[in-house]
């Protein structure tokens, strides 16, 4: 909405899904200790608390790539000593653990500010298609960066698929099928209706496939967090989708001398820039695609900004807004 001074202000007692980027939990160069993760989460709460103060009903999602990678390394190190954990179980474990850290940090902040609130984490199953081409072409990076020597060793000894990650180093890549539906969507809607903040679909949720008899079974894959967030936002009838990343805006010609921010994008502009390669698949592309999916499903507006800039984005002074208008 427009404030009296003519600026844009994101207010209203509607429903908002906030997708926390990787920096909200683990910063570049950190080891990823629990203490580091708690400190990072605490620094990421300002915008979330401001959104609650503005009357929004909130769903939070988050990434878990580094944490899944660390768990996979622990699984490999314990091979032969304990039963091996499939990738889907590792995703579920980290979804629960990180949800716990975010839930506790947010509750502590709200209690400190004497704001009555309830927060709950739901380990979320997300349905995918076993026939998705992604299972034949792994692309989703998980785990820490590897040297060329380490990458070759893991290819040979552990039969990992390893690929260069945007020139930053090598990482293990796993299948990333498209999310089709959220199993716990109805439960999440009911909890939101009760006034509770929900943390769900962490790391894109746990991938499951439907069997011929209708039962669900876990599959070894990782779902893109932003695409799952857009799907969940649609499933709970959210009006706003917020994706927090490392930059205050979406940029054209990112990293080049002609780089320029985009405060607003129409759906058609976003599609055109996506087709033109302005938003690569390994960085901004999934966020733009998620925003378009969300708007196509009835969402009113998608916002992409930095974790640090989210509070200012709520006031309308930063961030990239994508809408159908």
Are both 90 and 210 inside the same structural domain? yes
- Indicate if 296 and 190 belong to the same structural domain: no
Contact (Cβ atoms closer than 8 angstroms) between residue 110 and residue 42 = no
- The reply to whether 254 and 309 lie within a common domain is yes
Packing angle, helices 87-112 and 65-77, rounded to 10 = 130
In the set 63, 225, 309, 316, the catalytic residue is 225
Counting the structural domains of the chain, the total is 2
Here the CATH number for the domain that contains residue 318 is 3.40.1160.10
Please state, in angstroms and rounded to a whole number, the distance separating the CA atoms of residues 120 and 27: 25
In terms of domains, do 68 and 215 share one? Answer: yes
CA-to-CA dists, residue 28 to 145, 211, 280, angstroms: 11, 40, 20
Residue 312 lies in a domain: yes
255-258: long-range pairs with CB below 8 Å, 24+: none
201/256 same-domain check: no
Is residue 258 located within the same domain as residue 286?
yes
Q: Is residue 145 part of a domain?
A: no
Active-site residue, from 143, 202, 205, 287: 287
Q: 113 in a domain, yes or no?
A: yes
243 domain residue, yes or no: yes
66 exposure class (CB count in 10 Å sphere: 0-12, 13-18, 19+)? buried
**Selection from 285, 233, 309 nearest residue 46 by Cα:** 309
**92 and 201 fall within a common domain:** yes
DSSP state of 179: P
Give me the tens of pLDDT residue by residue for the chain, a chain 325 residues long: 444 333 445 555 699 999 998 778 988 888 889 999 999 999 999 999 999 999 999 999 999 988 888 888 888 788 889 998 989 999 999 999 999 999 999 999 999 999 888 999 999 999 999 999 999 999 887 766 788 998 999 899 878 899 998 788 898 888 999 999 999 999 999 999 999 999 999 999 999 999 999 999 999 899 999 999 999 999 999 999 999 998 999 999 999 999 999 999 999 999 999 999 999 987 899 999 999 999 999 999 999 999 999 999 999 999 999 998 7
Q: Let me know if 256 is a catalytic residue.
A: no
Residue 51 lies in a domain: no
318 and 192: one domain? no
pLDDT tens, position by position, 220-265:
899 999 999 999 999 999 999 999 998 999 999 999 999 999 999 9
User: Are residues 253 and 193 located together in one domain of the fold?
Assistant: no
Q: Is 23 a catalytic residue?
A: yes
Task: Specify whether 224 is located in the same domain as 243.
Answer: no
Give exposure, 138-161, as e/b (b: 16+ Cβ within 10 Å): bebbbbbebeeeebeebeeeeebe
Sheet of strand 140-146: strand arrangement: 140-146, 170-174, 162-164
Residue 197 zone, left/alpha/beta (φ > 0; ψ -120 to 50; rest): beta
- What angle do helix axes 267-275 and 285-296 make, rounded to 10 degrees? 140
Q: What pTM does this model have?
A: 0.90
Q: In whole angstroms, how large is the CA radius of gyration of the chain?
A: 19
Confirm whether 19 is domain-assigned: yes
Which residues span the domain enclosing 197?
Answer: 11-40+59-124+179-228
Q: What whole-number distance in Å separates Cα of residue 291 and Cα of residue 308?
A: 20
Catalytic annotation, pick one of 63, 99, 140, 203: 140
Instruction: Tell me how far apart the alpha carbons of residues 40 and 27 are, in angstroms, rounded to a whole number.
Output: 8
Catalytic status, residue 140: yes
In a domain, 233, yes or no: no
Residue 188 and residue 324 in one domain: no
Answer whether 132's CB lies under 8 Å from 213's CB: no
Integer Cα distance of 236 and 248 in angstroms:
27
């Amino acid at each position: 909405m427009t404030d009296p001074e003519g600026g844009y202000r994101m207010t209203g007692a509607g429903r908002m899904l906030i997708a926390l980027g990787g920096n909200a939990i683990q910063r570049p160069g950190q080891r990823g200790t629990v203490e580091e993760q708690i400190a990072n989460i605490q620094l990421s709460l300002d915008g979330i608390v401001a959104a609650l103060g503005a009357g929004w009903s909130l769903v939070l999602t988050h990434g878990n790539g580094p944490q899944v990678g660390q768990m996979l390394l622990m699984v490999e190190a314990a091979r032969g000593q304990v039963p091996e954990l499939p990738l889907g179980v590792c995703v579920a474990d980290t979804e629960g653990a990180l949800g716990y850290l975010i839930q506790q940090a947010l509750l502590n902040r709200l209690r400190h500010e004497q704001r009555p609130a309830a927060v709950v984490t739901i380990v979320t199953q997300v349905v995918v298609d076993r026939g998705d081409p992604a299972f034949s072409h792994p692309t989703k990076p998980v785990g820490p960066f590897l040297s060329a020597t380490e990458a070759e060793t893991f290819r040979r000894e552990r039969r990992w698929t390893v690929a260069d990650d945007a020139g930053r180093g090598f990482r293990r890549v796993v299948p990333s099928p498209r999310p089709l539906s959220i199993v716990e969507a109805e439960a999440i809607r009911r909890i939101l209706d009760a006034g509770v903040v929900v943390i769900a679909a962490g790391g894109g949720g746990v991938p499951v496939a439907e069997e011929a008899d209708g039962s669900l079974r876990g599959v070894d894959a990782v779902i893109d967090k932003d695409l799952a967030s857009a799907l969940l936002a649609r499933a709970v009838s959210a009006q706003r989708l917020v994706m927090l990343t490392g930059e205050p805006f979406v940029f054209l010609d990112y990293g080049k001398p002609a780089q320029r921010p985009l405060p607003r994008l129409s759906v058609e502009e976003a599609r055109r820039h996506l087709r033109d390669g302005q938003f690569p698949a390994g960085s901004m592309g999934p966020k733009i695609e998620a925003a378009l999916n969300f708007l196509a499903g009835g969402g009113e507006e998608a916002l992409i900004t930095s974790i640090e800039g989210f509070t200012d984005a709520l006031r309308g002074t930063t961030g990239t807004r994508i809408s159908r208008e």
